[in-house]
Amino acid sequence: MNDSPDCPLVGVVAAYLPRLAEFAFEPGLVAAVDQHAAAVCDALVPAPRRPDEAVPAPRRTVRREDLADYVLGFTDSLSEADWTEPVGHDFATLRLTAVCWLIREHDLLAA
């Protein structure tokens, strides 16, 4: 998969990257997006079990293909529910903003 226009991640970035700028003005948004990003990561890459909680878990790697599949399923569900993007933030906008953040943090649209 590449960053061609038919890649679902390209559309998410185009639509939700501007929302990341809101982090500077809404500290609660950072926490909400972080929780959604963690939930997406958990869905894609379950956290490894650690016998000693004092040892930090290794960083989980999010794969572009897995995230693209997740986005397709999520946006299909939104379409079936006739969802429209509201002013402000609802579950879906937070989830898609978190996906955009993951794309940026993991550099998933790089060649």
Q: What is the pLDDT of residues 14-24, one digit of tens each?
A: 999 999 999 98
- Condensed to tens digits (0 to 9), the pLDDT of residues 52-84 reads 666 656 667 889 999 999 999 999 999 999 999
pLDDT confidence of 1, banded at 50, 70, 90?
very low
pTM of the model as a whole: 0.83
Write the CA distances from 34 to 1, 30, 37, 41, integer angstroms. 26, 6, 5, 10
Contacts of 49 (CB under 8 A, 6+ apart): none
pLDDT confidence of 2, banded at 50, 70, 90?
very low
For the chain, the average pLDDT equals 87
Residue owning tokens 């429209």: 84
